[in-house]
Amino acid sequence: MKILDKEEEFDELVKSGKVVVDFFANWCGPCKMLAPVLEAVSKDNDNVTFIKVDTDKCQNLARRFGIMSIPTLKVFVDGKEKKTAVGFMDREELEDFIK
Q: What is the pTM of this model?
A: 0.93
Domain ranges of the chain: 2-98
Catalytic residues: 28, 31
Return the CATH number of the domain spanning residue range 2-98. Answer: 3.40.30.10
Partners of 85 in the beta sheet? 73
pLDDT band for position 67 (cuts 50, 70, 90):
very high
At 24 the pLDDT is 96
23 in Cβ contact with 67 (< 8 Å) = yes
